[in-house]
Structure 1
Amino acid sequence: MRAEPAPIPRAVLAAAADWLLRLGEAPDDPVTQQACAQWCAQHPNHARAWQRAQHLQALLQQVPATLALPVLGRGVDPARRAALKRLGLWLAVMPAGWLGWQVLSPAPTGPIERTAVGERRRVGLPDGSQLLLDTDTRVVVHFDDQQRGLRLERGRIRVESAPDPHSPARPLQVFTRQGRIRALGTRFDVRRDAELTHVSLMEGRLQISPGSGAPWLLEAGRQAAFDAHGAQRSERLDDTRAAWASGMLVADAMPLRELVAELARYRRVALRCDPQVAALPVSGAFPLDDTAQSLAMLEATYPVRVQRAGGGLWTTVAAR
């Protein structure tokens, strides 16, 4: 049986509450964001306390404004010390069972945008931002007075954020099962799979807050993957990953198994790669809107053949 973690010291919880208020007063200040990230990295208890503070903030965004705003309101006034004490007490008693994306993400009560297999669709959001949905994607749009929220339940999206016409400006955030992504004037892609959230950032900056662990910043020209426990992998942006938005799959020495798996996402019938040719490196540009043509291009260029069986219900790319 796994041992229960030790209680977080009250002083650390109070510090996390202070960071929550400071970021609420200056949500777009990179100096404050970086200082908070450094504090979280100093000790595991700091990261745990900050995680709890973020979950509390998400909960408060779902209660009536008359209750939440006196605690998280902007500006420094005589009530700040009392608000800080109240936050610290709430953090101390908040149960660990509240962790999870059902708490972090907005309740799925807004309009749902979705695409079918093989479909891509562009959607205009109420604030002027643009959303491009990839194949077999489902997004819940949740805009209210406190935030602009997108809950990515499956698939991939491209977000082109616009300045918020609302005053005060609301954060634009994408929620997945693994955590939360906050846009800081950006153009970026988010893709979900079972264990990871993948992010590609073309413009601007992103603040990424995993379900557990400290938040961190992703800069333009980078891509990253992270899980719900804070593990992350960041690297230079692969420009070919953005080609999906134009209906193309661009490969540069990509293993055939990965290319076939990507094409399979755009087909209603099964498509698999024979293990004998799975590692074959493939390069080229393949249309996503016509996967039959893409398979014909593979067959014409590489030592493979496309086998169809079951009356066309499944297809295998095998050695010629």
Structure 2
Amino acid sequence: MHPVDDVNGAAADRSEVSEPREARAVAREAAAWLVRLREDASPQDLEACARWRAADPEHERAWQRAQRLNDKFARLPAGVGVRTLGRRARTDRRFALKALAVAFTVAPAGYAAYRAMPWRDWMSDERTRVGERRFVVLADGTRIDLNTSTAIDIDFTASERRVVLNDGEILVETGRDAANASGVYRPFIVETRQGRIRALGTRFVVRTDDGAGATRIAVLHGAVEVTPGEAPERATVLDAGQQTRFTAITIDAIAAADPHAGDWSRGVLFADGMRLADFVGELGRYRRGLLRCDPEVANLRITGTFQLGNIENVLAALPRTLPVDVVYRTRYWVTITAADDGSGGSSGSNAQAAQPAKHG
């Protein structure tokens, strides 16, 4: 039996998928070979698969993609499974491989669903916890700083260098790719759920904003090309000192980049007349739990350079510089409120007139 027969029936009713029929067929073949070889493959099976992969570059690309997706599923923590309504969970290896095959063959819908799974960040190649910041150096010499709660996948092939930002914020300084044995230039691409950013020899910051379904990009050196995922005709080049925000279909007007956009990589939050609500929102990214600001003090302004390594010290200093109180309902539930003026009321009515505060 041809290995494709195992999965053809499961994927046959997915005619709504927009990929060309030929591409879906190749994907099914790659997934079927993966299932076959992970079970009881004979030497003849191995040779036949090798011949299939070598027959067409699209075959090899589909095979590599199936392998990567399989590797990610293999890294799921124990106890995470797929349960079908009305049926008990199936955990045997054969069922898992068949499920992988079906997920792979309905791409891009299946791949998009995989990226939306709650364990996506846990399975990422590189990730940081809440409050953690660190950097990695890739095989091509590129340095990537990861901000708090960030997750990326790294996918280098013979034709391109791709980093997928699943969540969070990164500062990228691209390398020269001197170690590339092929000698062929490989473009460097950062992919988010909204689209792609192609580096043109540069240093830039990318931040996801899933609440708004958008990606923010600020270019510090060099240039990048931004392409919304569903509107490639809107591709736009940003030069050093420029920033924008884009969704899958639009790109905002280009603006001057915040020169402090990458300060977090040095453990610093810079505020220049920042609204207190926005300031608290930024601090909240670096500590666990709920950190919120009452509306009556939301428009107070704060200025200064703040160390991200100790958020509790920053919170403790706020009442000394602004008419606010920091109320700990629990360790993980903190609210910034208007300060009690001693008369049973509060000073929240003066929020708009408060002077900028400084704190080192």
TM-score past 0.5 threshold:
yes
1:262 aligns with 2:290: no
Partner residue, 1:181: 197
Letter in 2 for 1:288: L
Matched ranges for 1:231-270 at <5 A = 231-270=251-290
1:144 aligns with 2:153: no
C-alpha distance in 1 between matches for 2:214 and 2:255: 15
What is the count of residue pairs matched by the alignment?
A: 231
Give the CA deviation at 1:147.
Answer: 1.1
Closer, same or farther: CA 319–200 of 1 in aligned 2, 3 Å: same
Closer, same or farther: CA 111–254 of 1 in aligned 2, 3 Å: closer
1:168 aligns with 2:184: yes
Q: 1:133 aligns with which of 119, 125, 146?
A: 146
Partner residue, 1:226: 246
C-alpha distance in 1 between matches for 2:293 and 2:279: 9
SS in 1 for 2:317: helix
Output one character per residue of 1:275-316: Cα deviation in whole Å (capped at 9) or x when no partner. Answer: 110111111111111101111222211111110013x22101
Give the CA deviation at 1:65.
Answer: 8.1
- CA contact 2:202–2:221 (8 Å) conserved in 1: yes
1:317 aligns with 2:336: yes
Partner residue, 2:225: 207
Output one character per residue of 1:191-224: Cα deviation in whole Å (capped at 9) or x when no partner. Answer: 0011110011100110111012221101000111
Partner residue, 2:9: none
C-alpha distance in 1 between matches for 2:54 and 2:153: 22
C-alpha distance in 1 between matches for 2:54 and 2:310: 49
Q: 2:206 aligns with which of 162, 172, 190?
A: 190
C-alpha distance in 2 between matches for 1:308 and 1:99: 44
TM-score w.r.t. structure 1 length?
0.67
Closer, same or farther: CA 102–67 of 1 in aligned 2, 3 Å: farther
Closer, same or farther: CA 301–113 of 1 in aligned 2, 3 Å: same
Specify which structure has the higher proportion of strand. 1
Closer, same or farther: CA 193–133 of 1 in aligned 2, 3 Å: same
1:274 aligns with 2:331: no
Closer, same or farther: CA 293–182 of 1 in aligned 2, 3 Å: same
Give the CA deviation at 1:242.
Answer: 2.1
Letter in 2 for 1:175: E
C-alpha distance in 2 between matches for 1:99 and 1:158: 29
C-alpha distance in 2 between matches for 1:303 and 1:223: 34
SS in 2 for 1:118: coil
Larger displacement relative to structure 2 (233-242 or 264-273): 233-242
SS in 2 for 1:208: strand
Closer, same or farther: CA 219–304 of 1 in aligned 2, 3 Å: same
- CA contact 2:146–2:171 (8 Å) conserved in 1: yes
Asked which structure has the greater RCO (Cα within 8 Å, sep 6+), the reply is 1
C-alpha distance in 2 between matches for 1:100 and 1:231: 26
C-alpha distance in 2 between matches for 1:279 and 1:65: 63
1:113 aligns with 2:126: yes
Identity rate, percent: 39
RMSD: 2.7
Output one character per residue of 1:109-156: Cα deviation in whole Å (capped at 9) or x when no partner. Answer: x97000010000110101111010000000001111111110000000
Output one character per residue of 1:20-53: Cα deviation in whole Å (capped at 9) or x when no partner. Answer: xxxxxxxxxxxxxxxxxxxxxxxxxxxxxxxx9x
- CA contact 2:194–2:215 (8 Å) conserved in 1: yes
SS in 2 for 1:239: coil
Partner residue, 2:72: none
Letter in 2 for 1:182: R
Closer, same or farther: CA 100–147 of 1 in aligned 2, 3 Å: farther
- CA contact 1:156–1:191 (8 Å) conserved in 2: yes
Point out the structure with max Rg over C-alpha: 2
Q: 2:326 aligns with which of 283, 302, 306?
A: 306
Closer, same or farther: CA 295–111 of 1 in aligned 2, 3 Å: closer
C-alpha distance in 1 between matches for 2:255 and 2:177: 30
